[in-house]
């Protein structure tokens, strides 16, 4: 039943100007503590269980510091005072409680027990998923020339220079192009379907989002509204969509 280590809060002491040592110096530390999950308020059953356990491994349980976890208790009517005495009769040493109701906390406080961090063993996620750290966009100011490639791993690509025919621009995220986009643009190359390609001047040879692609063999295949003009490219299902961006 060994459980998570407990970290006590770190209290900084101010250095006293004189060489005199402070009477009490608080320092942070961590200890591994055993948690005893209390699953019933039946003190007789608890006594019998503890007797068995100490008989099996007397040296392990002797003077063991414990944290009593009260989460599983069906009713909150627990005689905490007697419970502590039961443990102490077995030479076990409860230091405090965890997951106590307000009434249990009041009882614990009155008999001098500490409160320990909540360690809920709930189904499912406790903390919200850690959001992906925001990667700064890669900004490219130079033209990307035929045969060259620019890649923004983990984030967006901002293109301030043109992407020439025969060149490639790739990003895990979105691609924002402020100059003629004449080569190939591939966004969401790790599979993110919800990314976009934006350009001020669409003349691209190939457009791709999350692996789906559209080849533009002849510039005249593009509708007049987007040919060489500002355009927004995104994925709808498996289709690459090209919409004009109206600037005015």
Partner 1 sequence: MGKIIVVTSGKGGVGKTTTSASFAVGLASRGHKTVVIDFDIGLRNLDLIMGCERRVIYDFVNVIHGEAKLSQALIRDKRIERLYTLPASQTRDKDALTLDGVSQVLRDLQQDLGFEYIICDSPAGIERGAFMALYFSDEAIVVTNPEISSVRDSDRILGILTARSRRAVEELDPIMPHLLITRYNADRVMQGEMMSMEDIKSILGIPVIGVIPESESVLNASNTGTPVILDEKSTAATAYADMVDRFLGDSRPMRFVNFEKRGLLKRLFARSAS
- Residue 220 in the binding site for partner 1 (CB under 8 A): yes
Interacting span for partner 1 (CB under 8 A) from 59-67, 86-94, 129-137, 157-165: 157-165
Which listed residue (215, 219, 221, 238) binds partner 1 by CB under 8 A?
A: 219
Binding residues for partner 1, total number by CB under 8 A: 19
Which listed residue (224, 237, 247, 248) binds partner 1 by CB under 8 A?
A: 224
- Residue 62 in the binding site for partner 1 (CB under 8 A): no
State in angstroms the smallest separation of the CB of 142 from partner 1.
7
Interface map 125-154 toward partner 1 (x if CB under 8 A): -----------------xx-xxxx------
SS (H, E, C) the chain: CEEEEEECCCCCCCCCCCCCCCCCCCCCCEEEEEEEECCCCCHHHHHHHHHHHHHHCHHHHCCCEEEEECCCCCCCCCCHHHHHHHHHHCCCEEEEEECCCHHHHHHHHHCCCEECCCCCCCCCCCCCCCCCCCCCCEEECCCECCCCEEEECCCCEEECCCECCCCEEEECCCEEEEEEECCEEEECCCCCCCCCEEEEEECCCEEEECCEEEECCCHHHCCCCCECCCEEEEEECCEEEEEECCCC
Which listed residue (151, 165, 214, 232) binds partner 1 by CB under 8 A?
A: 165
Which listed residue (97, 162, 195, 216) binds partner 1 by CB under 8 A?
A: 162
CB-count exposure of residue 168 (10 Å: 0-12, 13-18, 19+) = middle
State in angstroms the smallest separation of the CB of 153 from partner 1.
19
- Residue 178 in the binding site for partner 1 (CB under 8 A): no
State in angstroms the smallest separation of the CB of 207 from partner 1.
18
- Residue 227 in the binding site for partner 1 (CB under 8 A): yes
Positions touching partner 1 (CB under 8 A) are 142-143, 145-148, 161-162, 164-167, 180, 182, 219-220, 224, 227-228
């Amino acid at each position: 039943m060994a459980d998570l280590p407990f970290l006590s809060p770190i209290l900084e002491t101010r250095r006293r100007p004189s060489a005199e040592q402070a009477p009490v110096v608080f320092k942070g530390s961590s200890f591994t503590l055993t948690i005893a999950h209390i699953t019933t308020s039946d003190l007789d059953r608890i006594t019998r269980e503890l007797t068995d356990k100490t008989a099996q491994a007397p040296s392990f349980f002797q003077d063991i510091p414990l944290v009593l976890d009260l989460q599983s208790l069906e009713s909150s009517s627990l005689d905490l005072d007697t419970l502590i005495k039961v443990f102490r009769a077995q030479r076990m040493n409860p230091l405090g409680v965890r997951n106590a109701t307000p009434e249990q906390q009041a009882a614990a406080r009155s008999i001098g027990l500490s409160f320990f961090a909540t360690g809920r063993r709930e189904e499912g996620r406790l903390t919200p998923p850690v959001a992906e750290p925001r990667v700064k966009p890669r900004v490219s100011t130079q033209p990307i020339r035929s045969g060259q490639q620019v890649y923004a791993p983990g984030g967006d690509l901002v293109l301030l220079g043109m992407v020439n025919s025969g060149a490639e621009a790739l990003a895990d995220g979105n691609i924002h192009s402020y100059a003629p986009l004449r080569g190939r643009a591939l966004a969401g190359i790790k599979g993110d379907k919800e990314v976009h390609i934006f350009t001020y001047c669409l003349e691209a040879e190939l457009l791709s989002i999350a692996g789906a692609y559209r080849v533009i063999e002849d510039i005249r295949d593009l509708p007049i509204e987007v040919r060489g003009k500002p355009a927004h490219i995104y994925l709808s299902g498996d289709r690459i969509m090209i919409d004009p961006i109206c600037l005015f």
